[in-house]
């Protein structure tokens, strides 16, 4: 590497073994690049590796990408069962796991979605949060840079303190929570070890394999059961439908973009109004939503109140408009009518006990 700084994962006290299982045959490393082909008007196929493939973004992204590419999805403890792409179960924090994975898959690009994303869990275990959210992305970035493999690091809008809002990529971050601080540290490692990488600060909603991973699912599940819920009137965000985010990340790779981007919706909304929008879209009772201040919620980790980010740079460099929240909400509803949530949940396997 050009830098003399130690690859961060080398400092992690890792376990001695890692589980590594995958359906299918081992590709010949000599064939890397030769597997690309064109099918009619379709784009060139690439071998895309997606980490966190059992999560909200990872699974939706892998499914989206599998329509045009050969996809390999990495999971740690939550195996999934499907035919759309190959599933690799491994602990990326284990010794040699990353090196073995890269040798085994020979990917043309990697989108790193895996993270410890539960904000309060990060407060409870900051060491683990740093291992997963900061050091692992840095190690992946360093290893992919050595092989000139395009790398996308999915980060968070939470790197800002939310005091001002309307943040651009040029604004100085000031994270409030351990989760956000470790994600920002991961950004730093990635940009240092892989200067050509994409860092995508995101906020998303959508359907997940567990049915419980996004704010949209929280409102839908509770309102459908006639359960009262609370919505913050003083916390604003710019969430993209996860399916739209998946398409954008793939387009960024296709365009060979590099550097930092805000991959968020083109408009913003309070979390209370977001819940009301869900209720109205699905014909549910919006009176079940009580408007409250985040200061009265008793949360253990600080939340940034105004995470309104500008996606103008992204729209300009992609050469296309970024979807609005309303457009995402409409597609979210359409996916529900197509039984997409049920299809995702059917892909869940039995959680690993290891």
What's the confidence (pLDDT) of residue 267? 97
Distance, in Å, from the CA atom of 336 to the CA atom of 345, rounded to the nearest integer, reads: 12
Tell me which long-range contacts 72-76 makes (C-beta under 8 A, separation of at least 24): 72/22, 72/47, 72/48, 72/105, 72/107, 74/49, 74/50, 74/101, 74/114, 76/114, 76/352
Element holding 325 (H helix, E strand): helix 325-337
Distance, in Å, from the CA atom of 57 to the CA atom of 245, rounded to the nearest integer, reads: 8
User: pLDDT tier at 297 (50, 70, 90 boundaries)?
Assistant: confident
Q: Smallest Cα–Cα separation from 207: which of 196, 216, 199?
A: 216
Q: Smallest Cα–Cα separation from 234: which of 171, 149, 139, 299?
A: 299
Please state the rounded mean pLDDT for residues 219-227. Answer: 98
What's the confidence (pLDDT) of residue 40? 44
With a cut of 90, say whether residue 132 has pLDDT above it: yes
Q: How many CB atoms lie within 10 A of CB 346?
A: 12
Least confident of 35-44, 153-162, 310-319: 35-44
Mean pLDDT, rounded, of the chain:
88
With a cut of 90, say whether residue 115 has pLDDT above it: yes
Distance, in Å, from the CA atom of 125 to the CA atom of 208, rounded to the nearest integer, reads: 25
Q: How many Cα atoms sit within 13 Å of 175 on the Cβ side?
A: 19
pTM: 0.87
| Superfamily classification of domain 8-295+304-346 | NAD(P)-binding Rossmann-like Domain (3.40.50.720)
What's the confidence (pLDDT) of residue 348? 83
Residue entry with tokens 């895309």:
48
User: pLDDT tier at 298 (50, 70, 90 boundaries)?
Assistant: confident
What's the confidence (pLDDT) of residue 301? 67
243-275 per-position pLDDT tens digit:
999 999 999 999 999 999 999 999 999 999 999
With a cut of 70, say whether residue 147 has pLDDT above it: yes
What's the confidence (pLDDT) of residue 6? 52
Pairing status of strand 204-205 against strand 198-202: unpaired
What's the confidence (pLDDT) of residue 29? 40
Domain boundaries along the sequence of the chain:
8-295+304-346
Distance, in Å, from the CA atom of 149 to the CA atom of 38, rounded to the nearest integer, reads: 21
User: pLDDT tier at 2 (50, 70, 90 boundaries)?
Assistant: very low
At residue 65, the 3 state secondary structure works out as helix
65-112 per-position pLDDT tens digit:
999 999 999 999 878 889 999 999 999 999 999 999 999 999 999 999
């Amino acid at each position: 590497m050009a830098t003399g700084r130690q690859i961060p994962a080398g400092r992690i006290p890792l376990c001695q073994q890692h589980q590594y299982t995958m359906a299918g045959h081992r590709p010949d490393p000599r064939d890397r690049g030769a597997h690309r082909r064109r099918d009619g008007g379709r784009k060139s196929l690439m071998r895309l590796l997606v980490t966190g493939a059992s999560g909200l973004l990872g699974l939706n992204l892998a499914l989206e990408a599998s329509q045009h590419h050969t996809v390999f999805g990495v999971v740690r403890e939550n195996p999934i069962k499907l035919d759309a792409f190959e599933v690799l179960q491994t602990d990326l924090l284990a010794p040699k796991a990353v090196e073995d994975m890269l040798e085994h898959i020979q990917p043309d690009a990697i989108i790193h979605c895996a993270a410890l994303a539960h904000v309060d869990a990060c407060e409870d275990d900051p060491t683990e949060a740093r291992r997963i959210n900061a050091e692992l992305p840095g190690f992946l970035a360093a290893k992919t840079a050595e092989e000139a493999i395009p790398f996308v690091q999915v980060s968070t809008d939470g790197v800002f303190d939310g005091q001002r809002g309307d943040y651009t990529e040029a604004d100085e971050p000031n994270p409030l929570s351990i989760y956000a601080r470790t994600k920002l540290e991961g950004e730093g490692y990635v940009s240092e070890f892989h200067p050509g990488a994409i860092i995508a600060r995101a906020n998303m909603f959508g359907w997940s394999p567990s049915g419980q991973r996004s704010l949209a699912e929280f409102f839908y599940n509770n309102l459908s059961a006639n359960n009262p819920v609370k919505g913050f009137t003083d916390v604003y965000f710019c969430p993209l439908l996860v399916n739209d985010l998946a398409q954008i990340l793939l387009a960024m790779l296709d365009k060979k973009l590099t550097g930092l981007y805000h991959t968020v919706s083109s408009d913003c909304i309070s979390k209370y109004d977001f819940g009301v929008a869900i209720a109205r879209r699905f014909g549910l009772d919006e009176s079940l939503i009580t408007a409250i201040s985040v200061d009265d919620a008793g949360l253990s980790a600080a939340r940034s109140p105004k995470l309104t980010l500008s996606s103008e740079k992204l729209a300009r460099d992609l050469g296309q408009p970024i979807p609005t929240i309303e457009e995402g909400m409409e597609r979210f509803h359409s996916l529900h009518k197509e039984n997409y949530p049920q299809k995702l949940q059917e892909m869940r396997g039995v959680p690993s006990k290891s």
